[in-house]
Chain A
Amino acid sequence: MPVEPPVVSPRTLVEAYSLLAADDYRPVAGGTDLLVEITGELGEPPERVLDIWHLDELRGIRMESNALVLGALTTYAEMRRSPLVAEFLPAFAEAAATIGAAQIQNRATIGGNAIHASPAGDMLPLLLACDAQLVVGGAQGERWVAARDFWPAYRRTALAPTELLLRICIPLATGRHVRYRKVGGRRAQAISKVVMALAWQADDAVDAPWRDVHLALGSVAATPIRAPRTEAVLEGSAPDEPTADRAASTLASEINPIDDVRSSADYRRAVAARVLHRLIREQGGW
């Protein structure tokens, strides 16, 4: 049997903050990562656990001054069902459908994905591409951290041990397009080999030039990353074939993935370039 570390289940955020201020706790939400760790097979299991599942302040999907706000405890199943997500950020619902399968989608949360800080975290490139703001809180109050500052190093976050991630705000921009692709060993239950999110602004015409291009990737570096050199190639260009060729080859040389159990560096570089090329071609309609 796995170890069973002591756990406290606060009912309010204030109570949770005061527990965090007094002792070291590992928060547990949907448990899809932490419950694997208590088997001890992945290293030392946590000493003390803070069960945040009952903190209703961290739930819900809502609109707030031109941003879609996802409570940290929003599950992937909730994201897939949400009419707000379907209307304003369909790429998030599409991404949620690629994560695990029903059992995982019913429990795993977007907050847990952000806090676990895996370079393969499926939602994280979307948060980077859409300029998400992560709102964290502690006894001292709340602060906002931009997605680009949230994962400073391998499996690290900008969160202090006394803080909790409360919600994620995704600004909505008119005329913004967002696309998402995940490449894994199979459609369900896969940890990604490459995950990509692409956001840009453009008029409706297929040959309209792209502006404000954000390209973010997972599983190709120690943290989820943006690809600024490739973005520069796309910026101001229409999605035609020469642009796609240049962007794909730039991306292949810009990223520096590693070989590991899930894939090889060569494959990741080739498939990232290919996926980007295809996304551009789909938009250009050629």
Chain B
Amino acid sequence: MTYRFVVNGDPVEVDVPGMRRLLDVLREDLALTGTKEGCGEGECGACSVLLDGALVDACLVPICQVDGTIVRTVEGLGGERALNDLQAAFLETGGAQCGICTPGMLMAGEALLATGAATNDATIREAIAGNLCRCTGYTKIVEAIALAAGRRRASAGDEPPA
């Protein structure tokens, strides 16, 4: 079957079995290896991506349900040569250690920031509750998301009221 959807702003078309996992389509068919496979059963969040804006584990989504949707992966946050503000905050605070959880943590953080809701320690921790860091470096990750959230609020505040 042919499935068409948008990944990081680019329309793509894949001809694959409908039960192939979104994770495998991203990594094997589209060579977007930024999304990692950790547990393969929805426990660790390493493969988190945004599907029509909602945070999902790409290991639990069959490609037949991705047809016609908009997918965003870690490659779509900044770009090949640039980091977005959240990625930069992870570097600044030391939020990235071994790296396997980082793409998923970034997408979980991005999903939270995209809501525009006020963040605090509890909301950030709830937002990344489905993501495991095997280095147990949660404190720095929470700090990174808080830092990026604060900067986004500050820059939104700079804009003239609508």
Binding site for B on A (CB under 8 A): 1-7, 9, 28, 30-32, 35-36, 38-39, 49, 51, 53-54, 77, 100-104, 106-107, 187-189
Q: Which of A31, A32, A103 contacts B45 (CB 8 A)?
A: A103
Q: Which of A4, A53, A54, A77 contacts B20 (CB 8 A)?
A: A4
B13 touches A (CB below 8 Å): no
Given A2-B21, A51-B18, A106-B54: A100 and B64 within 8 A (CB)? no
Asked if residues A189 and B129 are in contact (CB atoms below 8 Å), the reply is yes
Binding site for A on B (CB under 8 A): 17-21, 24, 28, 40-43, 45, 48, 51, 54-57, 59-62, 64-65, 108, 111, 126-127, 129-131
By beta carbon, the residue of chain B nearest A101 is: B130
By beta carbon, the residue of chain A nearest B52 is: A106
Determine the main DSSP class of B at the interface with A. Answer: mixed
Determine the main DSSP class of A at the interface with B. Answer: loop
Of the listed residues A38, A77, A107, the one surrounded by the most CB atoms of chain B closer than 10 A to its CB is A107
**CA of A106 to CA of B59, assembled, Å:** 14
> 19 A–B contact pairs at CB < 8 A?
A1-B24, A1-B28, A2-B21, A5-B19, A9-B65, A28-B62, A30-B60, A31-B65, A35-B60, A35-B61, A36-B41, A49-B19, A49-B62, A101-B130, A102-B127, A103-B60, A106-B54, A188-B126, A189-B43
Asked if residues B42 and A103 are in contact (CB atoms below 8 Å), the reply is yes
Given A102-B129, A106-B54, A188-B129: A6 and B17 within 8 A (CB)? yes
